[in-house]
Amino acid sequence: MALRSALINVMTGAARKAARTLVHDFGEVEQLQVSMKGPADFVSAADRRAEQILLAELTSARPRYGALLEESGEIQGKDTSNRWIVDPLDGTLNFLHGIPHFCLNIAVERDGEIIAGVTYDPLRDEMFWAERGAGAYLNRNRLRVSTRERLETAVLATGLPPRQRRNHRGFAAEVSAMTPKTAGIRRLGSAALDLAYVAAGRLDGFWEKGLGPWDLAAGIVLVREAGGFVGEMGGGSDMMNTGDVIAANDRLFDAIGETLRSAASEGQ
């Protein structure tokens, strides 16, 4: 049985409380007040309600921590070493169209390193959580990345960057390069769940460009603690700042990166 630390208990408790409002609003999705903050990038009343609940719960438990929130931006804390990184609703477009595939994310960054993360899918009641050095879990079960060794047997996921940052030709080149080498490519609409699924071995790999730190933070520690690799497409490790990421098991990570880098010049 997985023993959760006090920090993980705070995060999972906050996630479950905020998720109740998401589930309620998802049931009444047609009634939501929706505004646009950019093409193909919506913010809903549900986003904001869930974020307020998360911030209140997390601040109550760790009042000195700062926070980086997708909707509200950065909040400076008295404790300059620790901050929450929060996405109250990843998969907003799915949510607003009644597609039951979305989640919320909480991570803790300590001195520039992600040390703990939670990704919660409330409709399936799947709580993915990990803490550095303690492993990755789905509810009470230990997670391990897949053991597939060849791209031709692998299923990968990817995502389209927001329209204003989209390189259509570059993305087409990446997909064209990856598709004939793999068993299949999926576009599910939630980068955070894609990363959690890599940690769980459901997906063998994932790549995407243009993500925010709130999309990535929890997934980074999940994949690493499940035995996988996470890095930039160009080979670096500054995903939180660049927003470009590859995640996979140790057997496929290099092959995915090499294929994407070879395709990059075609899409320029």
The fold adopted by the segment(s) 151-267 is D-Maltodextrin-Binding Protein; domain 2 (3.40.190)
Smallest CA-to-CA distance from 54 within 40, 65, 39 is with: 65
Angle at 106 between CA 100 and CA 112, to 5 degrees: 140
* Among candidate residues 204, 193, 226, 198, the one with its CA nearest the CA of residue 153: 204
| Residue with token string 């243009």 | 210
> Which stretches of 159-204 are assigned E, i.e. beta strand?
184-186
Q: What confidence score (pLDDT) does residue 41 get? A: 46
The pLDDT score that the predictor gives to residue 111 is 96
Pairing of strands 113-121, 103-110: antiparallel
Residues of the chain with pLDDT under 50: 38-41, 267
Give DSSP secondary structure letters for 77-128: -SEEEEEEEEEEEE-HHHHHTT-S--EEEEEEEETTEEEEEEEEETTTTEEE
What does the DSSP 8-state code read for residue 72?
T
Q: Where are the domains of the chain?
A: 6-142, 151-267
pLDDT score at 39: 38
Phi-psi region of 112 (alpha: psi -120 to 50; beta: other; left: phi over 0): left
Summarize pLDDT for 37-59 with one digit per residue, the tens. 543 445 578 888 999 999 999 99
The CATH class of the 6-142 domain is alpha beta
Q: What is the dihedral of CA 193, 227, 179, 202, to 10 degrees?
A: -50
- Tokens 């997934």 map to which residue? 219
Q: Is 151-267 in the same CATH topology as 6-142?
A: no
pLDDT at 80: 92
